[in-house]
A and B are shown apart, each in its own frame.
Chain A
Amino acid sequence: MYLRPATVDEALAALAARPLAVLAGGTDFYPARVGRPVVEDVLDVSRLTELRGIRDEGSHWRIGALTTWSDVARADLPPLFRGLQQAAREVGGRQIQNAGTVAGNLCNASPAADGAPPLMALGAQVELARFGARRTVPLSDFILGNRRTARGADELATAILVPAWARQAGHSARSAFLKLGARRYLVISIAMVAATLEVSPTGKITRCGIAVGACSPVAKRLTALEKRLLGERLTAGIAALAAPAHLAELAPIDDVRAAAQYRREAALELVRRALAALAAEAGAGRDWS
């Protein structure tokens, strides 16, 4: 069976009735099925245009589940989203960015998903809908492990919600994303890092999110480092505050792409660079929001 409903309600009703494999851009869906026919019943969500696009809803931003990486890269967004936009430009190649969705990236739950670190560092939540009900789950609770999420079989991810940052007068926020791979494009990352910083009018860090991907089954926030940074002044020296102990929770693997030790050290270096880049932009008086 292949369903392609036009409304979210129809889609949820179908999901409530029987198990269906959800298909969005298909850029993870089909590669997972190479060489064998699709035997599952499919719910193709690509007609649910109501789920596409990014909106400012005051207390948060809503990134509809069908928003593609190209949509993110092209959207006119405040510097808070710079990191997510940098990630968007490095997912696969252009064709992949045109087809692949941000929600699909999260629902697929690959340890190397480029979407996870920047959205985690933004404190994003995933909005899940089932027939007649809706709930939101913090992203860090949504991805449970390699290819495992908290999504129920009858649920559809309808949006990613990013809380508003820098709501107090004079505060501003900005983010950055860095990725290391054997090559820049079309490779699985060795490590990636995202950082979001909010600063007060006096230049002190008032809120932050730092997340590392590809160094553990699920991308992880570096909560100890986040704590350490709070209240610090955002200057070039801040990069040096990141220490190996802050990455203790990571559990990188050894594989054909890289050794664990290298992943860990590279991640630390990327964290420092992300912080240094944000400090440099603050120093240069670049536009924050």
Chain B
Amino acid sequence: MTEPTRYGRAQGGARKEDERFLTGRGRYADDLAVPGAAHAAIVRSPHARARTAAIDVAAARAAPGVIGVFTGADLVAAGVKPLPFVPGFVGEDGRPARSPARYPLTPDVARFVGDPVAVVVAETAEAARDAAELVAVDYEPLDAVVDVRRALGPAAVLAEPDFGTNVAAFHAIGDAVRVDEAFASAAHVARIDLVNNRLVPNPIEPRVCVGEYDTASGRYVVRLPTQTAQSTRNSIAASLGVAPERVRVIVGDIGGGFGMKTFIHPEDALVAWLAKACGRPVKWRADRSESFLGDTHGRDQWVQAELALDRAGRFLALRVRLAANMGAYLAFIGPVVPLRAGVRVSTGGYDIPLFRFEGRAVLTNTAPVCAYRGAGRPEAIYAIERLVDVAARELGIDPVELRRRNLVPRSAMPYRNGVGETYDVGDFAAVLDRALAAADWSGFDARRAASRATGRLRGRGLAFYVEWTGGEMTERAVVEVHGDGRVVLLSGTQNMGQGLETSYAGIVAEALGIDPARVEVVQGDTDRVLGSGSVASRSLFVGGSAALAGGKDAIEKGRALAADALEAAPRDIEYAAGRFCIAGTDRAIGLFDLAARQPERRFLGEATVTFTMPSWPNGCHVCEVEIDPETGEVRVDRYSAVDDVGRRLNPAIVAGQVHGGIAQGIGQALLEACRYDADSGQLLTGTFQDYALPRADDLPAFALGAFEDEPASGNPLGTKGVGEVGAVAAPPAVVNAVVDALAEFGVKHLDMPVRAEDVWRIVAGGRAPR
């Protein structure tokens, strides 16, 4: 199925969109000057759980510049519906999964610190904020539950007492009896009990939305940075109780999404409703503090995993129990992340015939948790890769050797893993070898001795991962050829900084044999193009394949039109490099001249592609850390990676994606922790002073190698998703290295983020007091 050409590969490193971004000409939602726009400020709960008994808005309403003040009760009275979330999950009792109803403003109970309870609309953002402080909410604080382990414990406080349990959804996979038997007869069982730390996604551009309502047509327009325009539109419409066609979502440039800007957030529907209620466009923009409080968070799983091995160190069975903190409400795809997306790769790159999974999605009084770069796969790979290292250490087998013995061999492809997913292609052992070479694995002993000589501890860790990418496997593309020399590609995926404009322009330009500079990429306008957006690293291989098919269809449509124009039979028309020509003659017409002759001075190609096979990127990352035993400070000294992401259309973009993911993964491993007070539910890490994002000087230069020998079989580009792999692989690579460095102190595991203090405790505990 793979085609021999290298779409877009001829382009150098420069990306089409970068000049716009770098010279300040990006168009972000906050830059829009919407005539007559009023501004919204949201009153957010300061309590983790509280009844909002009475809300006195009189003073706020009387404040200067105020246009309107609304509460959740006003919204409910006006017929606003709760935000939807994906169906299909069940609770432990087998009944459909439940979430407290999430209205754009909560009408009765605030369920986390930051839960929106009221909104003020005013002439200016400042006036709205001032008036928001005058909204007097009579909170009746209630007990809250924060930590997922406590939430599952006996006599736990219930986040939603009516439900009788904190478990919102439950999902099990695999034959428990056979897995139990395998464990009973195993020569060795390795176990790990870990927490995958909660993270705040923190794109550089905070969330913004601008709502408009047109009385004449009865239509709403919402402009916002969303990765999933169509889904967001549908959810806004559902909340407003109108048909999806009555809502138009328009997306401009996006300053990073990382999965957080997917699907629906309360403010998206709120501004639409407010625009109608106030008769004015209404804009809301989060400041950074609001982002910390009110954005969906990522990760936050408690995972217990066990691996059964035989005498030869072969993996027999894997058992995973996880509890995922979902926060106070199920976000649109909240339970999908731990219960469906991540579990697909629970067995990683290994041949583990038997698998049992039990996952619980748990409600707490914290911000809702949803997708964040990797969405479930980083958690799954972290668990298996830590577990394999634990097993290797317990058995005294070299961690590389243990992996080698158990990696799925190339000869087994296509391979159905223990979870039931089928990997189409891959040569995991070759990737592993190449990664070890890139890391100068064998030179480690000398480097460790050199570190020792300066009083430092050095450790190395590796992580092998398999990633599932794809999600929705259908995408459509329209390729418009215009008489003025432009080609416009309409795609339902979404650029958010990952370089899609460049990649798509390259694909279409190559299909048509024209200069990529002629190709404009239009995304994120539900009146012009629908699609499933950019999630799960799907855009290039699904959306890019659609663009390729759309380009080819444009040639076919053009062939028929050219036959007309040249008065020849379509089968005699050949197309090359922007010209339709009658075979064997010099009679020809240019692509754009042909378009100019059409009634609308353009013609269209279009295509819808549907794939059955997700793509399975895989790779091996190797990390070396140096530890200062006296202070516990950990420094990532070397980091190298070989990723099989199939064919790389644009190696610079691939490298950029991998770099960004590794940086976020190192952040998760060593720096980032979103912490709530365990009793009060107050967010303790609500600013960048307390929530440490990695900076350039926290990272070494990354040495990246490529592996293109196993292109994806499921799409014509041969590509696999690359957007998330760095964030999947880096956390286990780093933590494995830290644990290795501390091996002499008998440490088995350290939870992330591994802080200097945690390391210091291990070292200090392992030597005489001074």
Q: Does A284 contact B (CB under 8 A)?
A: no
Q: Does A185 contact B (CB under 8 A)?
A: yes
Does the CB pair A256–B757 fall under 8 Å?
Answer: no
Give the distance in Å from the alpha carbon of A101 to the alpha carbon of B469 in the complex.
Answer: 51
Does the CB pair B756–A180 fall under 8 Å?
Answer: yes
* Interface-central residue, B126, B675, B689, by most chain A CB under 10 Å: B689
- With contact pairs A256-B685, A265-B764 given, residues A183 and B690 touching in the complex (Cβ less than 8 Å): no
Does the CB pair A256–B697 fall under 8 Å?
Answer: no
Contact with A along B692-704 (1 / 0, CB 8 A): 1011011000000
- Interface positions, chain A 242-259, Cβ under 8 Å from B, are 244, 256-259
- Choose from A34, A37, A180, A182 the contact partner of B692 (Cβ within 8 Å): A182
Q: Does B743 contact A (CB under 8 A)?
A: no
**Quick one: closest A residue to B126, CB to CB?**
A37
Q: Does A42 contact B (CB under 8 A)?
A: no
Contact with B along A247-275 (1 / 0, CB 8 A): 00000000011110010011001100100
Q: Does A280 contact B (CB under 8 A)?
A: no
Q: Does B138 contact A (CB under 8 A)?
A: no
Which A residues lie within 8 Å of B631 (CB)?
A: 180, 266, 269-270
Contact with A along B744-770 (1 / 0, CB 8 A): 000000000001110011001000001
Does the CB pair A183–B671 fall under 8 Å?
Answer: yes
Report B175 CB to chain A, min CB distance, Å: 44
**Quick one: closest B residue to A263, CB to CB?**
B757
Q: Does A222 contact B (CB under 8 A)?
A: no
Report B574 CB to chain A, min CB distance, Å: 60
Does the CB pair A269–B633 fall under 8 Å?
Answer: no
Q: Does B688 contact A (CB under 8 A)?
A: yes
Report A199 CB to chain B, min CB distance, Å: 25
Report B292 CB to chain A, min CB distance, Å: 13
**Quick one: closest A residue to B633, CB to CB?**
A180
Which A residues lie within 8 Å of B377 (CB)?
A: none
Give the distance in Å from the alpha carbon of A269 to the alpha carbon of B633 in the complex.
Answer: 12
Give the distance in Å from the alpha carbon of A37 to the alpha carbon of B690 in the complex.
Answer: 24
Give the distance in Å from the alpha carbon of A273 to the alpha carbon of B631 in the complex.
Answer: 11
- Interface positions, chain B 649-700, Cβ under 8 Å from A, are 671, 675, 684-685, 688-690, 692, 694-695, 697-698
Q: Does B630 contact A (CB under 8 A)?
A: yes
Contact with A along B621-654 (1 / 0, CB 8 A): 0000000001111000000000000000000000
Q: Does A188 contact B (CB under 8 A)?
A: yes
Does the CB pair A187–B692 fall under 8 Å?
Answer: yes
Give the distance in Å from the alpha carbon of A190 to the alpha carbon of B756 in the complex.
Answer: 10
Does the CB pair B675–A262 fall under 8 Å?
Answer: no
Does the CB pair A182–B760 fall under 8 Å?
Answer: no
Give the distance in Å from the alpha carbon of A53 to the alpha carbon of B761 in the complex.
Answer: 44
Does the CB pair B685–A262 fall under 8 Å?
Answer: no
Does the CB pair A187–B697 fall under 8 Å?
Answer: no
Does the CB pair B695–A256 fall under 8 Å?
Answer: no
Report A38 CB to chain B, min CB distance, Å: 13
Q: Does A58 contact B (CB under 8 A)?
A: no
Give the distance in Å from the alpha carbon of A271 to the alpha carbon of B767 in the complex.
Answer: 20
Q: Does B476 contact A (CB under 8 A)?
A: no
Which A residues lie within 8 Å of B690 (CB)?
A: 188, 256-257
- Choose from A34, A188, A259, A269 the contact partner of B757 (Cβ within 8 Å): A259
Which A residues lie within 8 Å of B671 (CB)?
A: 182-183
Which B residues lie within 8 Å of A55 (CB)?
A: none
Report A283 CB to chain B, min CB distance, Å: 17
Total count of chain B residues near the partner, CB < 8 A: 28
Q: Does B261 contact A (CB under 8 A)?
A: no
Report A18 CB to chain B, min CB distance, Å: 25
Q: Does B602 contact A (CB under 8 A)?
A: no
- Choose from A35, A183, A258, A273 the contact partner of B129 (Cβ within 8 Å): A35
- With contact pairs A259-B757, A266-B760 given, residues A183 and B630 touching in the complex (Cβ less than 8 Å): no
Does the CB pair B692–A262 fall under 8 Å?
Answer: no
Does the CB pair B764–A183 fall under 8 Å?
Answer: no
Which B residues lie within 8 Å of A34 (CB)?
A: 289
- With contact pairs A180-B631, A180-B633, A184-B697 given, residues A256 and B675 touching in the complex (Cβ less than 8 Å): yes
Total count of chain A residues near the partner, CB < 8 A: 23
Does the CB pair B692–A269 fall under 8 Å?
Answer: no
Which A residues lie within 8 Å of B630 (CB)?
A: 269, 273
Does the CB pair B760–A186 fall under 8 Å?
Answer: no
Which B residues lie within 8 Å of A182 (CB)?
A: 671, 692, 755-756
Which A residues lie within 8 Å of B130 (CB)?
A: 37
Give the distance in Å from the alpha carbon of A35 to the alpha carbon of B289 in the complex.
Answer: 10
Does the CB pair A188–B633 fall under 8 Å?
Answer: no
Report B385 CB to chain A, min CB distance, Å: 24
Report B286 CB to chain A, min CB distance, Å: 13
Report B682 CB to chain A, min CB distance, Å: 11
Which B residues lie within 8 Å of A257 (CB)?
A: 690
Which B residues lie within 8 Å of A180 (CB)?
A: 631, 633, 756
**Quick one: closest A residue to B690, CB to CB?**
A256
**Quick one: closest B residue to A270, CB to CB?**
B631
- Choose from A244, A256, A259 the contact partner of B684 (Cβ within 8 Å): A256
Does the CB pair B757–A187 fall under 8 Å?
Answer: no
Report A178 CB to chain B, min CB distance, Å: 9
**Quick one: closest B residue to A273, CB to CB?**
B630
- Choose from B129, B632, B684, B688 the contact partner of A186 (Cβ within 8 Å): B688
Does the CB pair B695–A185 fall under 8 Å?
Answer: yes
**Quick one: closest B residue to A182, CB to CB?**
B692
Does the CB pair B689–A188 fall under 8 Å?
Answer: yes
Give the distance in Å from the alpha carbon of A273 to the alpha carbon of B630 in the complex.
Answer: 10
- Choose from B633, B697, B757, B761 the contact partner of A185 (Cβ within 8 Å): B697
- Choose from B675, B698, B757 the contact partner of A183 (Cβ within 8 Å): B698
Does the CB pair A244–B770 fall under 8 Å?
Answer: yes
Which A residues lie within 8 Å of B697 (CB)?
A: 184-185
Does the CB pair B756–A186 fall under 8 Å?
Answer: no
Which B residues lie within 8 Å of A188 (CB)?
A: 689-690
Report B649 CB to chain A, min CB distance, Å: 35
Does the CB pair B689–A262 fall under 8 Å?
Answer: no
Give the distance in Å from the alpha carbon of A34 to the alpha carbon of B292 in the complex.
Answer: 15
- Interface positions, chain B 119-148, Cβ under 8 Å from A, are 126, 129-130
**Quick one: closest B residue to A240, CB to CB?**
B770
Which A residues lie within 8 Å of B760 (CB)?
A: 262, 265-266
Report A226 CB to chain B, min CB distance, Å: 20
Does the CB pair B756–A183 fall under 8 Å?
Answer: no
Contact with A along B596-640 (1 / 0, CB 8 A): 000000000000000000000000000000000011110000000
Report B669 CB to chain A, min CB distance, Å: 13
* Interface-central residue, B287, B675, B760, by most chain A CB under 10 Å: B760
Give the distance in Å from the alpha carbon of A187 to the alpha carbon of B692 in the complex.
Answer: 7
Report B473 CB to chain A, min CB distance, Å: 41
Give the distance in Å from the alpha carbon of A265 to the alpha carbon of B632 in the complex.
Answer: 11
Report B267 CB to chain A, min CB distance, Å: 18
Report B637 CB to chain A, min CB distance, Å: 15
Which B residues lie within 8 Å of A35 (CB)?
A: 129, 287, 289
Give the distance in Å from the alpha carbon of A269 to the alpha carbon of B631 in the complex.
Answer: 7
Which B residues lie within 8 Å of A37 (CB)?
A: 126, 130
Report A106 CB to chain B, min CB distance, Å: 20
- Interface positions, chain A 187-238, Cβ under 8 Å from B, are 187-188, 190
**Quick one: closest A residue to B758, CB to CB?**
A262
Which A residues lie within 8 Å of B632 (CB)?
A: 262, 266
Report B623 CB to chain A, min CB distance, Å: 18
**Quick one: closest B residue to A93, CB to CB?**
B695
Does the CB pair B695–A262 fall under 8 Å?
Answer: no
Which B residues lie within 8 Å of A262 (CB)?
A: 632, 756-757, 760-761
Contact with B along A20-59 (1 / 0, CB 8 A): 0000000000000011010000000000000000000000
- Interface positions, chain A 109-129, Cβ under 8 Å from B, are none
Sample (8) of A-B pairs whose CB atoms are under 8 Å apart = A35-B129, A37-B130, A180-B756, A184-B697, A185-B697, A258-B755, A262-B756, A270-B631
The 9 lowest CB-CB distance pairs between A and B, nearest first, are A262-B757, A269-B630, A182-B692, A256-B684, A183-B692, A258-B757, A266-B631, A188-B689, A269-B631
Given contacts A35-B129, A180-B631, A186-B689, 10 further A-B contacts (CB under 8 A): A182-B671, A183-B698, A185-B695, A187-B689, A187-B692, A256-B675, A266-B631, A266-B632, A266-B760, A273-B630
